[in-house]
Amino acid sequence: MSTNPTADLGNMTLAALGDFIESLGHKRFHARQVYAWIWKRGVTDPEGMTDLPKALRAALASQARVATPEVVQRSVSEDGTRKLVLKLGDGRQIESVFIPDTPSQTFCISTQVGCAMACAFCLTGKMGLVRHLTAGEIAGQVRVLLDTLDMHDTPFNIVLMGMGEPLHNYDETMKALAMLAQEQGVGLSPKRVTLSTVGLVPMLDKLAAEPLMPNLAISLHATTEAQRVAIVPPSKKYTLHDILEACRRFPLAKRSRITFEYVMLAGVNDAPEDARRLAKILTGIKGKVNLIPLNAAPGIPFERPSDARVDAFAAILAERGVTVSVRKSRGRDIRAACGQLIVEGQGRRSPAQLLSEAMGS
């Protein structure tokens, strides 16, 4: 296909694709066929789109492209988790993760190169924000994973928990979800998508009005304002109180709940009194708590609490009527677990630099 960057079919909604095909002098209905080839079947070369008129195939080949992230590295964990390092059109790199049997097949997708949130326990935050991803780059990770894993006919879930803060890249993230939900393509129900955010309150309120509503996960990690500011810097602008109030007014389907993610840091937020406060501040919110024992890594100045400490914390929550689960770490041996995604040379400090700093050299 042409490398003309001005017409990327992989970054077009079905409506935009129809407009583009009309601009080439062809019937708009062909957009549904093209969309299905790209998203349902993974075919990006117009010559392979055999039900299209030859003239349209020729026009697409000369005047458009389907930009697709390139797999430059693959890692497989002993637990079956797979991590892909993907190179984008400008040479920047991101990471995407496949987590099998969770109990569904799950894709962990990135929304930015790096992240501006700078959470103290997360390697991605050490990179800073390099740039936002386009909708095509966000959704394109799904196409790559489907092709790489030969899963075009397999149901899957998506968690927007990779590199980046989805609500910081709001418009492109929502466009990507709309593209993936299109029935002519992947046909991914919003019920199979979970969006994780540190809690950017204006964007939470905006999300509440979206016609396509993903499941919501709030990265909470603390039970007091002072504690959260130290762990999650955006709390200086959006307080714990503000976030919880936004959650209280967030519309939920009858059987839906907000997931509150709580990364447990030894000696920081894992005490019994933290558990009791957590149960108290979540009173009146239709939610559940997902405890995440820290996935330690060079450059992260915290330790993972003991299993006994985690279990005691969970027991206190359960005793107070809070639905609680403990996330099993997946892919830790290939640095694919929560908080461990970082790409060499893409941001302020590389993994090698972080390791050197951690060793005091």
CA pair distance 290, 326, nearest whole angstrom? 6
CA pair distance 151, 99, nearest whole angstrom? 13
First-to-final CA distance of the chain: 49
Residue 102 has what pLDDT? 73
Cis preceding-peptide flag for 293 (omega within 30 of 0): no
Residue 255 has what pLDDT? 78
Radius of gyration of the chain (CA): 21
In a domain, 2, yes or no: no
In a domain, 3, yes or no: no
Contact 65, 4 (CB under 8 A): yes
81-116 tens-digit pLDDT? 999 999 999 999 999 999 998 778 999 999 999 999
Residue 338 has what pLDDT? 59
User: Same structural domain for residues 175 and 295?
Assistant: yes
338 catalytic? Reply is yes
User: Same structural domain for residues 325 and 194?
Assistant: yes
In a domain, 327, yes or no: yes
User: Same structural domain for residues 224 and 239?
Assistant: yes
| Residue 157 Cα to chain centre, angstroms | 11
Residue 157's identity, in one-letter code, is N
The CATH number assigned to the domain holding 51 equals 1.10.150.530
Given 108, 119, 122, 338, which residue is catalytic? 338
Query: Which residues, in sequence order, are CB contacts of 84 under 8 Å at separation 6+?
Result: 71, 73, 74, 95, 96, 97, 98, 144, 145, 148
The CA-based angle 183-189-191, given to 5 degrees, is 170
Residue 285 has what pLDDT? 96
Domain boundary among 63, 79, 100: 63
Residue 79 has what pLDDT? 87
In a domain, 77, yes or no: yes
Q: What percent of the chain has pLDDT over 90?
A: 79
User: Same structural domain for residues 162 and 272?
Assistant: yes
Contact 121, 299 (CB under 8 A): no
In a domain, 1, yes or no: no
User: Same structural domain for residues 51 and 116?
Assistant: no
User: Same structural domain for residues 208 and 109?
Assistant: yes
CA pair distance 121, 171, nearest whole angstrom? 27
Contact 289, 278 (CB under 8 A): yes
Residue 300 has what pLDDT? 85
Residue 331 has what pLDDT? 54
User: Same structural domain for residues 235 and 319?
Assistant: yes
Domain boundary among 44, 63, 82: 63
In a domain, 4, yes or no: no
CA pair distance 359, 297, nearest whole angstrom? 12
Residue range(s) defining the domain that contains residue 109: 70-358
Total structural domains in the chain?
Answer: 2
CA pair distance 284, 303, nearest whole angstrom? 32
CA pair distance 274, 282, nearest whole angstrom? 12
User: Same structural domain for residues 252 and 178?
Assistant: yes
Residue 298 has what pLDDT? 79
119 catalytic? Reply is no
Given 95, 137, 165, 172, which residue is catalytic? 95
- Which residue ranges of the chain lie beneath pLDDT 50? 1-5, 336-337, 340, 349-361
In a domain, 345, yes or no: yes
CA pair distance 23, 60, nearest whole angstrom? 11
User: Same structural domain for residues 353 and 305?
Assistant: yes
In terms of Cα–Cα distance, which of 286, 168, 163, 292 is closest to 216? 286
User: Same structural domain for residues 44 and 103?
Assistant: no
Contact 279, 263 (CB under 8 A): no
325-360 tens-digit pLDDT? 998 766 565 554 455 455 555 555 444 443 343 333
Alpha-carbon distances, residue 214 vs 31, 121, 181, 243 (angstroms): 26, 25, 11, 18
User: Same structural domain for residues 76 and 57?
Assistant: no
In terms of Cα–Cα distance, which of 350, 344, 277 is closest to 91? 344
In terms of Cα–Cα distance, which of 250, 317, 268, 321 is closest to 290? 317
In a domain, 260, yes or no: yes
Contact 261, 221 (CB under 8 A): yes
CA pair distance 113, 94, nearest whole angstrom? 6
The CATH number assigned to the domain holding 140 equals 3.20.20.70
Residue 342 has what pLDDT? 53
User: Same structural domain for residues 153 and 43?
Assistant: no
Domain boundary among 20, 35, 63: 63
